[in-house]
Amino acid sequence: MNTRPRLLMHVLAIGIALAASPARAQVPCAATDTTFFSFQDQGGYSYQFTPEPPPGWTMQYQEWAFGGADWNDFSLYPQASVLFPGAGDYLICLRATQEDYFGNQCVSIYCALLNVPVDSACAGLIAGFTIESQSGGIQFNNLTTSVIPEPTTMMWDFGDGSTSDEVSPLHTYPGAGPYKACLTVISGNCTATACNWIYLGPPDVSCDTLLQPAIGVIQYERTIAVFDQSVTSGMNSSINWDFGDGAQATGSPVLHTYADDGDYQVCGNIGLWGPLTPDTCMGSACKMVFTFPVTGVNDLGKPASPKVYPVPFTHHFTVEMGRVDEHAHWVLEDLLGRRRMRGVIPTLGTFDVSGERLAPGVYLLRMFSGLQSKVVTVVKSNE
């Protein structure tokens, strides 16, 4: 059954088409003309996404972007089939160039957070364990249950750098902790993990020991998904978000869209409380978010816009941006902000980027000259 994503949806009716779409399709669609999408769970963490244009509109061009923690993918097909790496929350975005009965075109962008549950084929594998003090160490008792008729592998991570593949190991810790001990069970193509926090010292632990604030940000143009990735030592916790534009939210994950391009500091303010500390511990983690207008080969009517071709590319692409200063340089990042390549821009402003070692996907090319910077979205296609 096709189902529209139910978790934290948000419509962004502001966008600019990529280079492959017609030059006249630079007008953002009205919110009432947004192209949504539905999805179908095909099993094994494989999903198919289908666009749903509004009445009176047809699709001319589409780009799908999929982002998760340390993972991203893209598709240029009308119906996108994606194999997610596992259960979790993912940011799904569709940029659609669409045309009405009268030949008018506009660009719609719709983003949603999708929660991918544990695949039903693996629901019968449940990891679990208990602990007890024994012989100066901690005895880990495996309580895993499985109805999957496959050999089972046990992988213990005791949280102090030590591991074991025994069924129910005995482990001695070098200090009081707290330590996050995890059991990962692999049976056939299914994986299940269970974790518990272990603390061996006196009460009233310092906040610095219990709380290590950390946040994750996945971005698609002006839309971001934020995740609480803090180490909370198994204690009760809450998070409040400040997006740097006056907007705030609570909980994790959260979807947010900026109204304007700019530089924003996103901060997660984490509160922690429980039996190991008499007071509430507070901590913050922040990241910078840079929003930008997408440019491409069809934006040449604006003298300041770089020319990038071909888009999509397979092996390399060329950039023409006009004369720059002697210190100009470029950086290529993936959608998670991880730097993949960098280089110097010649003073004439024309250069080639070889992307043979890059995986297919969507990348951000940032170019810096003097006090100005420009950002271009480039797409590497399959061979």
| Same domain as 88, residue 44 | yes
Place of tokens 């002006």: 222
In a domain, 174, yes or no: yes
Looking at 290, 318, 334, the residue that finishes a domain is 290
d(CA 366, CA 372): 11
Query: What number of other Cβ atoms are within 10 A of residue 337's Cβ?
Result: 14
| Same domain as 234, residue 185 | no
Nearby residues of 35 by Cβ (< 8 Å), 6 or more positions away: 29, 51, 52, 53, 54, 57, 59, 94, 96, 98, 108, 110
pLDDT at 325: 85
Residue 237, pLDDT > 60, answer: yes
Q: Please, what is the Cα angle at 34 between 32 and 40, to 5 degrees?
A: 130
| Same domain as 140, residue 107 | no
**Is the pTM here over 0.75, yes or no?**
no
Q: What are the pLDDT digits (tens) for 59-68?
A: 998 889 898 8
| Same domain as 147, residue 107 | no
- Give me the residues paired with residue 256 across strands: 224
What SS3 class is residue 160?
coil
Q: What are the pLDDT digits (tens) for 85-137?
A: 888 999 999 999 999 999 999 999 999 999 999 888 888 899 999 999 887 78
| Same domain as 310, residue 375 | yes
Looking at 48, 82, 116, the residue that finishes a domain is 116
In a domain, 2, yes or no: no
pLDDT at 9: 32
In a domain, 353, yes or no: yes
Q: What are the pLDDT digits (tens) for 169-224?
A: 999 999 888 899 999 999 888 889 999 888 888 877 888 888 999 999 988 888 99
At 133, which CATH number? 2.60.40.10
pLDDT at 58: 94
Query: Is the Cβ–Cβ distance between 105 and 97 less than 8 Å?
Result: yes
| Same domain as 181, residue 86 | no
Averaged pLDDT of the chain: 84
- What is the number of structural domains in the chain? 4
pLDDT band at 311 (very low <50, low <70, confident <90, very high): confident
Range of the domain at 376: 297-380
| Same domain as 221, residue 241 | yes
Provide the strand spans (E) within 211-315. 215-220, 223-228, 236-242, 248-250, 254-257, 263-274, 277-290, 307-309
DSSP of 90-125: EEEEEEEEEEETTS-EEEEEEEEEEEEPPPGGGTTE
In a domain, 94, yes or no: yes
- Alpha-helical regions (H) of 90-242: 207-210
pLDDT band at 322 (very low <50, low <70, confident <90, very high): confident
| Same domain as 354, residue 315 | yes
pLDDT band at 16 (very low <50, low <70, confident <90, very high): very low
The more confident residue out of 194 and 152 is: 194
| Same domain as 104, residue 38 | yes
Residue 333, pLDDT > 90, answer: no
Query: Is the Cβ–Cβ distance between 5 and 366 less than 8 Å?
Result: no
Structure tokens, 371: 């006090």
| Same domain as 194, residue 136 | yes
pLDDT band at 323 (very low <50, low <70, confident <90, very high): confident
| Same domain as 286, residue 219 | yes
d(CA 340, CA 333): 5
Residue 6, pLDDT > 60, answer: no
Looking at 92, 116, 140, the residue that finishes a domain is 116
In a domain, 1, yes or no: no
Query: What number of other Cβ atoms are within 10 A of residue 359's Cβ?
Result: 12
Residue 164, pLDDT > 70, answer: yes
Residue from 220, 374, 376 nearest 310 by CA: 376
Give the distance from CA 262 to its chain's centroid. 20
